[in-house]
Structure 1
Amino acid sequence: MQSFIEHSLFFGPVISLVVYEGGLLLKRKYKLAVLNPLLITAIVLIAFLALTNVEYESYNASAKYISYFLTPATVALAVPLYEQLKLLKETLAAVLCGLLAGVLTSLVSIFLLSKLFGLNHEQYVTLLPKSITTAIGMGVSEEMGGITAITVAVICVTGMIGDITSEWLYKILKIRHPIAKGLALGTASHAMGTAKAMEMGEVEGAMGSLAIVTAGLLTVVGASFFAQLM
């Protein structure tokens, strides 16, 4: 098995996509938030690699090519935003304030928690880009001297938490406005949050798309400042 995976250009992408599609089918059938396709994929692949004694590097040698689609997939999210351009112009001030508040909340919370748990600078800057899309977050982490692999993991976990908890949080906090829902998901949970927002409605999806790009840019600027605080 080890030899086959090391020399195969298709094993990594195929098994990743097949397991992810299986996760999607489970989510559609049972409609449970905890059945997040990415979470299911991660659990199944980790179990598979552990049981077959396959090194992660061997699997990733071919699976890494999936990540090349991150950037075009993120850019494609501009389409629903364009369709809601009129609504954006009407609520521009509120939207910008919401985005700024979300980004600051993310950066400040990481700073305070890092102080509380006594993290060093490398660990601290690794966590700063947790709420932006992987395509941007990896570059931010690397530039600031963070551990890129952990940054990717943290970004994925953040997205899954947003996807799993958003609906019941909105019910508890009585958040009903579609713009507020979309902005919150896109700002806090990047692409995965936006995918969840798109399930809720067109307006939510459009605001989530806007939040990914804008929050990413604001975090790049804000993280460079916050990185100097520790």
Structure 2
Amino acid sequence: MRGDELLDLARSPLVLLLITLGGYQAGRWLQRRTGGHALAQPVLPAIAAAGIAITVLDVDYADYRSATELIAFWLGPATVALAIPLHRQADRLKGFVVPLLVAIVAGAVTSIVTAVLIARALGADEQLEKTLSAKAATTPVAIALTQSLGGIPPLAAVFAISIGIVSAITAPAVLNLLRIRDRRARGLAVGAVSHGIGASRMLREDETEGAFAGLAMGLSALAISLLVPVLALVLF
């Protein structure tokens, strides 16, 4: 097989899909080998493998996104499946609904306002401020909101994913340092900030924490999608 034929094969959708899945499996192996260490997030090797592949093979991101559409499709059912542990923990919602909703709204407002004001204080332009405003939402929501505001959607996706990874790594340790022991509050805090990545981390820690992280992920995305257009009238 000639070199150009090998290159075309390496750029094929099947190979790109296998590279992505292989990177994630490598991350899971590393996670098991380290005993579930906070820094061993499976998403990181998957991102590294995909980034190296599309750079070395000179693959356009749109082509890579199309090749891995199958993974994106299954993210939907996987997210919905987070409702299963919440259903098992439904009795833990008693007396917690009002504090939960207040915390979600307060957290969303704080996330939006602080991101914009800090970016402004550091000299960012308005387009970057708009891009950062939806950083705590899930990636699809952040992209859609940023596009409607006139920000930079691809950069919004980078911020959302990066913040999700960093929060999933650091948040449990921060909560321990602050002596926050309530499983519901811990899950709520992490899910509101680091969405799917954080929810999966908390689900490994404890089923109650994972259930409330999944709930917080959905409610935060809803709150941010409603609040960003309103706060944008004041902030921009």
- Which TM-score applies when normalising by structure 1? 0.90
1:199 is the counterpart of 2:204:
yes
The 3 A distance-change label for structure 1 pair 170 and 58 is: same
SS at match of 1:73: helix
Match of 1:17 among 18, 21, 27: 21
Summarize the Cα distance change of 1:58–1:105 in structure 2 as closer, same or farther, 3 Å threshold: same
SS at match of 1:90: coil
Partner of residue 3, structure 2: none
1:152 corresponds to 2:125? no
Match of 2:37 in 1: 32
CA-to-aligned-CA distance 1:137-187 (integer Å, 9 cap, x gap)? 222222222211111111110110111102221221111110110000110
1:12 and 1:60 in contact (8 A); partners too: no
How far is the alpha carbon of 1:44 from its aligned partner? 2.9
Which ranges in structure 1 are unaligned for 5 or more consecutive residues?
Answer: none
Give me the whole-angstrom Cα distance separating, in 2, the residues matched to 1:163 and 1:140.
23
CA contact under 8 A between 2:112 and 2:228: conserved in structure 1? yes
Alpha-carbon distance change, 64 to 189 in structure 1, aligned in 2, over 3 angstroms: same
TM-score, reference length from structure 2: 0.88
Match of residue 138, structure 2, among 133, 147, 170:
133
1:31-85 CA distance string (max 9 Å, x none): 3211211112222332344444444444334124422333332222222222222
Asked if structure 2 preserves the Cα contact closer than 8 Å seen for 1:111 and 1:226, the reply is no
Structure 2 residues not aligned, in runs of 5+:
1-5
Identical aligned residues as a percent: 29
State which of 118, 124, 136 in structure 2 corresponds to 1:119.
124
Q: Aligned partners of 2:155 and 2:10: how far apart in 1?
A: 24
Q: Match of 1:130, SS?
A: coil
Structure number with greater CO (CA < 8 Å, separation at least 6) is 1
Aligned partners of 2:23 and 2:48 also within 8 Å: no
1:59 & 1:217 partners in 2: Cα distance?
29
Q: Which amino acid aligns with 1:154?
A: F
CA contact (8 A) 2:137 2:195 kept: yes
